[in-house]
Structure 1
Amino acid sequence: MRHRAALLSAVPAVAAAAAFLALPSAASAAPGPGPGGAEVRITEAPQALTAGADTRTVTAVVSTDRGGRCRKVRWSAVVRAEGPRLDQVRVERIEDDGAFPVQVQTAGDAARLTDVQFDPGELCKGKTVTARYRVAVDRDASQGRVTLEVQAFDAGTRPLGAAVATATVQGEAASPEPSESDDAEPSPSPSDSDDPGAAAGDDTADPPAKTPATAPAADRAAASSDSSGLLGPGLIVGALLVFAGVGLLLRLRTRNRAAQQHMPTSFYPAP
């Protein structure tokens, strides 16, 4: 019995959504104030959408200046794409930062998204009902614009009003593919003026002279080889001089000790 009751309660909602989907765009709610003193306004919308960027938010609000009984609201939005393909535009109905179920109907370059259920809020005097949509464009979309027409209906499918938000699409510019002629750098062609030997008419070429760039390197190599050849004998002579100096110092020290042994250890005055 519970399953049957849930099924029966879902039938009116699905039927109402199907009725919205069957409405052509020409007979939809016109932008501006609707009957019963209701009005739909766009309070948040992007001026431009960048292809491949994060989603942007479109917010619509319906309000009324009439008193009386509060009314339930059902939202329906028509998406149109000019430039980008319709399948490159992503629109999601959200409520309290979560996805809200919708039914989608597409026709050419337009699509209609209609809420399956009524909005959680109620339209009363001094109290508004808000609908939010997330909009994004795929990375490979071309430049153009996207239009989102947000419409509000009451429980009896009567239009309360509509508002339109339009954003330009900034697509990624296609960079031209490099050709083989652009990648290949032109190789310099030899000319007669570049070859002095050819201009003089000589058949044989002299051996290359030592250039200034290589001459210092050769001189440094010769100097380093000469210095390395003199380093060994210099070290040997230095070591011999050190040993001779040490031996001389030891000899002088021995003589001083021998002389000190013959000196008196006390001082006596002369008689």
Structure 2
Amino acid sequence: MAATALAAAAAALALPGPASAVEPGFAVRITELPATFGAGAESRTLTVVASTDRVRCQKVRWSLVLRVEGSTLDQVEVDRVEESGAFPVRVQSNGDTARITDVNLDPGQLCRGRTVTARYRIAFDDEAGTGRVQFQPQAFDAAGTLLQQSSGQSPVVGQQPAATESPAGEAEPTPTPGETRDSGDASIDGGGEATATPEPAESDDIGAVPASATGDGPSLLGPGLIVGAVLVFLGVALLLRLRMRTRGTPGHGAMPTGFHPGR
């Protein structure tokens, strides 16, 4: 791509500055002007046409004055193109303004009923800012006399800056149950002093599980089992003793072991 970086100015041209008057019988019109330019977008084409009502034909040298607002010249690339391809140019720059002038005369011939056309492909790089670009195409004859000029402008849409996170946008930690978080304006009625979280009232403990059921207090199961075992043992011993006494009571003999028929 034979692009011309406008910040790199070439040697001064042997052309006069903007003239206060132009030659009669010539006209310069911008026939193709981009509605807008986008930073980082593809190049757009600016087309300029010169015409005359003079009988005598002559050659034309094109010069384009370009001025940027919101961007810098090193963020602009310009191609001067013809049907055969890129056309060599020279560049002069001063601040936010550049002049791009053909090194050679235009290949066409400017005559009555015949026009001469200049085309420029213009692009802005990714870092270009939002603003506008102004164009002033000029047609000179071979001797450097300004024949006619025109003007136009287009807006430039720059890339939007990346969104930056502010400290206020940082996620706040989620408080755990029972934890009090200071919001920075802890109290409206307390003169700016943070108010402590109130302790639960005694009525909040109604229906609480007894300590003995949760395993936190002493258990009565062990002593109860021991006492029960002792009582059972004593009961069995008492029953055995009563049975022994019953067997040893007089009048209660042993049952006969045989049968004796009557005589």
> Normalising to structure 1: TM-score of the pair?
0.60
1:148 paired to 2:143: no
Cα distance in structure 2, aligned partners of 1:73 and 1:204:
108
Contact between 1:62 and 1:123, CA under 8 Å: does it hold in 2? yes
| Structure 1 residue 176, shift from structure 2 partner | 2.4
| Structure 1 residue 165, shift from structure 2 partner | 2.2
Cα shift readout 1:234-268 (whole Å, capped 9, x = no counterpart): xxxxxxxxxxxxxxxxxxxxxxxxxxxxxxxxxxx
Residues 37, 190 of structure 1: CA spacing in aligned structure 2 closer, same or farther, 3 A cutoff? Answer: same
| Structure 1 residue 115, shift from structure 2 partner | 0.4
Cα distance in structure 1, aligned partners of 2:92 and 2:62:
14
| Structure 1 residue 181, shift from structure 2 partner | 4.5
Cα distance in structure 2, aligned partners of 1:93 and 1:204:
95
The aligned counterpart of 1:111 is 98
1:53 paired to 2:48: no
Q: Pairwise mapping of residues 1-150 of structure 1 onto structure 2 (< 5 A)? A: 18-20=13-15, 23-24=16-17, 27-28=18-19, 34-67=22-55, 69-96=56-83, 98-150=85-137
Cα distance in structure 1, aligned partners of 2:209 and 2:168:
37
Look at both structures and tell me which one has the larger radius of gyration over its CA atoms.
Answer: 2
Larger helix proportion of the pair: 1
How many residues are paired up? 182
| Structure 1 residue 175, shift from structure 2 partner | 2.8
Structure 2, unpaired ranges of 5+: 1-10, 181-199, 215-263
Contact between 1:29 and 1:151, CA under 8 Å: does it hold in 2? no
Q: Pairwise mapping of residues 162-201 of structure 1 onto structure 2 (< 5 A)? A: 162-179=149-166, 181-191=168-178, 200=204
User: Residue type of the partner of 2:33?
Assistant: A
The aligned counterpart of 1:257 is none
Identity %, equivalent residues: 49
| Structure 1 residue 120, shift from structure 2 partner | 0.2
Cα distance in structure 1, aligned partners of 2:74 and 2:84:
24
Cα distance in structure 2, aligned partners of 1:148 and 1:203:
88
The aligned counterpart of 1:226 is none
The aligned counterpart of 2:251 is none
Contact between 1:91 and 1:133, CA under 8 Å: does it hold in 2? yes
> Normalising to structure 2: TM-score of the pair?
0.62
- Secondary structure of 1:140's counterpart equals coil
Contact between 1:29 and 1:160, CA under 8 Å: does it hold in 2? no
- Secondary structure of 2:59's counterpart equals strand
- Secondary structure of 1:124's counterpart equals coil
Contact between 1:29 and 1:159, CA under 8 Å: does it hold in 2? no
Cα shift readout 1:161-212 (whole Å, capped 9, x = no counterpart): 111120101112213212454242441343489xxxx7745799999xxxxx
RMSD, matched Cα: 3.1
User: Residue type of the partner of 2:44?
Assistant: R
